[in-house]
Amino acid sequence: MPDTMRLPGRTFEAEGGSTYLVEFEATALKPEGSPGSAMYFGASLACGGPDGGTIRSVGGTQNVRSGERVTIRNQFLLDADRSGNYACRVSFSSPSDEAAAAGTTATIDSTWSVAPARSEAVEVPADERLPRLVQPGERAAVFRAERETSDAWGDHSDLLSTVHVTSCTMVNGSTEDGRTWCPEDQVDPAGSAVELTYRLVSIDGNGEVCDSRTIDVEDARIERLTHHLVLHGDAPIAHPADACGTRLRFVVALENEGPAPLVIHRSNSTFVMNTGE
């Protein structure tokens, strides 16, 4: 580094009118003793259709400390509007030649896969709730999907989520939509402790919650050197046979335990509910 690397694209055959689940991960290792305490690591996957051009891209950014191995995972649903060859390409970036880690040579591994999505798969748009600032002690719903119960769902759903966050250890890196989200007077180098929770909620015919179950909980600490973090969840959820309601609500929620405020970015935050036959 500094460097930007674009790997050769790979193609797959898609059938028009079909939906595909595209999953991507990239792992970076910054060697012990390499320049600087941490290096910026950005990774992305971009996919295009038969006519060229980019249909969709996802990725993430995170600082990697010396001796640390960091994995960025993301996913999305690709709707093939016509049959033909579709192509995806992985890119990595660590662009600043002024960073203390300049001169570091990092090892990066990456994989991506594409498979037909299940019949009732949906992706929840991140712009419904994001971006947003979460203050210390505050809990925020990041994604929420609610649907009527149906036999077409099958017996379980696979919930795949990526939540891209920045702790306000500094103001830099918190910009989105032309706005700097970290308030300068609230910056705290101690960072943020976060808890990401996945819940399944049953809603009765009156619109009231009749059951709520925690499916998974993930804890993370974002320190000054880390600054950005990509939280990924892969939670298979069995549909309750004894559901009390007529609708099921799938919720991804984040709690910021502080002491620094936390930005949840719309960019590179995704939520896919892969369900059905």
Cα(158)–Cα(160) distance, rounded to whole angstroms? 6
Tokens of 23: 């999953």
pLDDT digits (tens, 9 = 90+) for 212-252: 889 889 999 999 988 899 999 887 777 777 668 788 888 99
Query: Are 96 and 54 in the same domain?
Result: yes
Is pLDDT at 151 greater than 70 in this prediction? no
Which of 76, 93, 116 terminates a domain? The answer is: 116
Query: Are 10 and 105 in the same domain?
Result: yes
Model confidence, pTM: 0.90
Query: Are 246 and 152 in the same domain?
Result: yes
Query: Are 20 and 56 in the same domain?
Result: yes
Cα(68)–Cα(86) distance, rounded to whole angstroms? 35
Of 44, 90, 96, 42, the residue nearest 70 (C-alpha) = 42
Query: Are 59 and 160 in the same domain?
Result: no
Q: Domain holding 23: CATH number?
A: 2.60.120.660
pLDDT digits (tens, 9 = 90+) for 101-129: 888 888 899 999 999 999 889 999 998 88
Which of 95, 116, 137 terminates a domain? The answer is: 116
Cα(33)–Cα(95) distance, rounded to whole angstroms? 20
Percent of the chain with pLDDT over 90: 62
Positive or negative torsion for Cα 205, 251, 200, 193: negative
Terminal-residue alpha carbon distance, the chain: 45
Candidate from 16-20, 44-48, 115-119, 212-216 with smallest mean pLDDT: 212-216
Looking up tokens 């203390």, which residue turns up? 100
Query: Are 40 and 91 in the same domain?
Result: yes
Taking residues 85-100, report their average pLDDT. 86
Tokens of 197: 């929770």
Is pLDDT at 4 greater than 70 in this prediction? yes
Are the beta carbons of 60 and 18 closer than 8 angstroms? no
Q: Domain holding 221: CATH number?
A: 2.60.120
In which domain, by residue range, is 22 found? 3-116
Query: Are 162 and 135 in the same domain?
Result: yes
Taking residues 6-25, report their average pLDDT. 95
- The H-assigned helical ranges of the chain are none
Query: Are 98 and 148 in the same domain?
Result: no
> What pLDDT shows up at residue 152?
58
Query: Are 28 and 139 in the same domain?
Result: no
Report which DSSP code applies to 193. E
Are the beta carbons of 24 and 58 closer than 8 angstroms? yes
Is pLDDT at 98 greater than 70 in this prediction? no
Cα(277)–Cα(256) distance, rounded to whole angstroms? 37
Query: Are 151 and 109 in the same domain?
Result: no
Cβ within 8 Å of residue 140, ≥6 positions away: 129, 132, 134, 253, 254, 255, 256, 264
What's the structural domain count of the chain?
2
Of 194, 177, 230, 224, the residue nearest 60 (C-alpha) = 230
Are the beta carbons of 114 and 88 closer than 8 angstroms? yes
Which of 66, 89, 116 terminates a domain? The answer is: 116
Are the beta carbons of 214 and 236 closer than 8 angstroms? no
Residue 184 main-chain phi, psi, to 5 deg? -60, -35
Burial of residue 132, with CB atoms counted within 10 A of its CB: 0-12 exposed, 13-18 middle, 19 or more buried: middle
Taking residues 178-199, report their average pLDDT. 95
